[in-house]
Structure 1
Amino acid sequence: MTAPISNDLRERVVAAVLSGESVRTVAARFEVAASSVVKWSQRHRMTGSVRPDKMGGYRKRILEPHRDFIVERLTQNPHLTLHGLKDELASRGLAVSHNTIWKFIRSEGLRFKKNAVRP
């Protein structure tokens, strides 16, 4: 993913548009896309700033609210499989893939211990 274009350039582009130049002329002079000039001008009109929005973000894990239930089920039944846990979550109204459950369990440091005697 590329970094956003500098605010200095954005401000100069918007200032040129506000001074009366056409979008295409400004785009050619500053060597940016005409669509960028339009979007930056719109952003300036709406917010008064040309700063870009935050890029990326954090996505909340879907199984986080069910962590206690998952830990309890793994403690009660260490032989529970991913598909079995998936079915139990589905009975609670949460439909997720077994891969989602696996990633959650791994990220939480939980383990499926099939045989406690073997290392």
Structure 2
Amino acid sequence: MVRPISNDLRKRAVSAVAKGESCRSVAERFGVAVSSVVKWSQRYRATGSVTPGKMGGHRKPVLDPHRAFIVERITERPHLTLHGLKAELAARGVKVSHNAVWLFLRREGLRFKKNTVRPRTGSRRRLS
């Protein structure tokens, strides 16, 4: 992600626009995009500041409050599919995507296998 342009440059550009210079000439003089000068001017008029807004951040997972329910459902019905679990969550009013359920299970380390006790099937070698 690109760093925001310094507040000093933003202030100089906004003050030049406030003095009557056009956004295009200010953008050309400071070497920035015209849209940036326009947005900085709009932000200054609205808030009185040219500081940039917050960039990025961390989103709290939607399924964290429902962890107990998910664990209970998987232990009760180990053959439950991801789509089935998604449907049960939707019945409780939690609208999530198939991928969100999968990522939650993977992040929490919850296994979602039907037959964890049985050995894998495959071709056996003949010992001759």
* Number of the residue aligned with 1:23: 23
Partner residue in 2 for 1:92: 92
- TM-score using structure 2 length: 0.77
Q: Which residue of 1 aligns with 2:80?
A: 80
Supply the distance in 2 between the matched residues of 1:29 and 1:103 (Cα, whole angstroms).
Answer: 48
Question: 1:46 and 1:66 mapped to 2: Cα distance?
Answer: 40
Please state whether the residue corresponding to 1:5 is helix, strand or coil. Answer: coil
* Structure (1/2) with the larger helix percentage: 1
Query: After the TM superposition, which of the residue ranges 17-26 and 64-73 deviates more from structure 2?
Result: 17-26
Relative to structure 2, which stretch is displaced further, 66-75 or 84-93?
84-93
User: Structure 1 pair 87/26, CA: closer, same or farther in 2 (3 Å)?
Assistant: closer
Structure 1 segment 1-119 matched on structure 2, within 5 A: 1-118=1-118
Runs of 5+ consecutive residues of structure 1 not aligned to the other structure:
none
Deviations 1:28-86, CA, capped at 9 Å, x for gaps:
21122222112111211222211100112233322222211101111222332223222
Residues 2/86 of structure 1: CA separation in 2 closer, same or farther (3 Å cut): same
TM superposition score normalised by structure 1: 0.82
Which is further off, 44-53 or 19-28? 19-28
Secondary structure (helix, strand or coil) at the match of 1:69 reads helix
For 2:95 and 2:49, the matched residues in 1 are separated by 42
Count of aligned residue pairs for this structure pair: 119
